């Protein structure tokens, strides 16, 4: 049986690593790089896409599904020519989730144990302890309760924190010991009851700018903000003002409105900001390829693949 051709479509490069990983797992699918400049694209049945150049996906007449190489799919939806009649499959992968668990638990603990304040004291060679509230009185709140939020929420619950989550729709499968509320009307109270806020929402029309000055003001004074979702969720000027006034005590930021973060951006030098370059959870080709193969095989069999994006809600 001839191998099924798959096209790698990304402005960010990196096809070679995906080709090697795919070849280690299967001969049924072969990966070709759009950037190598082929003229006949009619035979491609699948596209592996991440920040695709606009206009490529609409010129693949044989396409049966688009598979995102990341959990967030806004860069694919931003292509006005993206075919909307075939499945767009987002990445849900245990390896990616594990990395996000590490990032979130690490940063919640950093803020719980007031590490930005201790690092400032270390710079001044100041031997002075701070009050040490136990985890059981610390309220961790997740904005978003999807594939990447639930596992760290459970880990933090197991560490003894009070854990709450807020998302778009009410749920019947909320794990015991975690409180969940949904919808815009519940957001204000959720924020008022959150000491360490973890933002793991996707970028959509509804979430862009969600954390504005008014909402940051709802947090208890000195709350910590962790953003590993998308930079567009937070009004950065409002966050800086809140950090400077002490309304927000400290922040861990992995994602930004402009990436790479411009050199002159005040976040770089802010002593209560812990900054990482959009790497809270990187996609590992070797770990991820089996899931991608399974999704393509499901489509080949005529089945509905898992983790399809609902285009009407944008995530």
Can you give the binding site for ligand OXD, defined by CB under 6 A? 70-72, 91, 283
Taking CB under 6 A as the criterion, the residue among 254, 270, 274, 288 binding ligand NDP is 254
Interface residue with ligand NDP among 15, 22, 57, 71 (CB under 6 A) is: 71
Contact status: 201 vs ligand NDP (CB under 6 A)? yes
Q: Which residue of the set 150, 203, 230, 270 is catalytic?
A: 230
User: Which is the catalytic residue, given 32, 51, 218, 278?
Assistant: 278
Q: Is 167 in the site for ligand NDP (CB under 6 A)?
A: yes
Residue 278 is a catalytic residue: yes
Query: What x-and-dash track marks residues 275-314 binding ligand NDP by CB under 6 A?
Result: ---xxxx---------------------------------
The answer to the question of residue 168 lying near ligand NDP (CB under 6 A) is yes
In the complex with ligand OXD, which residue's Cβ is closer, 206 or 300?
Answer: 206
265 is catalytic: no
Closest separation in Å from C-beta 273 to ligand NDP: 16
Q: Say whether residue 196 binds ligand NDP (CB under 6 A).
A: no
> 183: left (phi > 0), else alpha (psi -120 to 50), else beta?
left
Q: For binding to ligand NDP (CB under 6 A), which residues are involved?
A: 70-72, 144-149, 167-169, 182, 200-204, 206-207, 228-230, 254-255, 278-281, 315
Active site residues: 230, 278
């Amino acid at each position: 049986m001839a191998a099924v051709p798959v096209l790698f479509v990304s402005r960010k490069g990196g096809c070679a690593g995906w080709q090697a990983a795919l070849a280690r797992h299967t001969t049924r699918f072969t990966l070709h790089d759009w950037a190598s400049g082929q003229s006949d694209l009619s035979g491609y049945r699948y596209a592996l896409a991440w920040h695709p150049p606009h206009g490529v996906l609409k010129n693949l007449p044989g396409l049966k599904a688009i598979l995102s190489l990341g959990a967030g799919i806004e860069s694919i939806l931003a292509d006005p020519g993206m075919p909307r009649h075939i499945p767009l499959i987002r990445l849900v992968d245990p390896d990616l989730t594990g990395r996000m668990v590490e990032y979130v638990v690490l940063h919640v603990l950093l803020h719980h144990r007031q590490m930005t304040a201790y690092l400032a004291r270390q710079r001044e060679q100041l031997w002075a302890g701070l009050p040490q509230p136990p985890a059981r009185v610390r309220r961790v709140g997740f904005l978003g309760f999807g594939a990447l939020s639930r596992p760290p929420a459970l880990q933090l619950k197991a560490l003894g924190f009070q854990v709450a989550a807020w998302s778009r729709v009410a749920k019947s499968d909320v794990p015991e010991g975690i409180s969940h509320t949904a919808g815009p009307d519940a957001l204000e109270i959720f924020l008022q009851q959150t000491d360490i806020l973890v933002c793991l929402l996707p970028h959509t029309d509804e979430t862009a700018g969600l954390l504005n000055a008014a909402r940051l003001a709802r947090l208890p004074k000195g709350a910590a903000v962790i953003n590993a979702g998308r930079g567009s969720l937070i009004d950065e000027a409002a966050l800086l003002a809140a950090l400077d006034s002490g309304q927000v005590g400290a922040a861990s930021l992995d994602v930004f409105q402009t990436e790479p973060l411009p050199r002159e951006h005040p976040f770089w030098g802010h002593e209560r900001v812990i900054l990482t370059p959009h790497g809270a959870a990187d996609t590992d080709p070797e770990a991820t390829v089996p899931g991608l193969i399974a999704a393509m095989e499901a489509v080949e069999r005529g089945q509905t693949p898992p983790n399809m994006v609902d285009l009407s809600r944008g995530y």
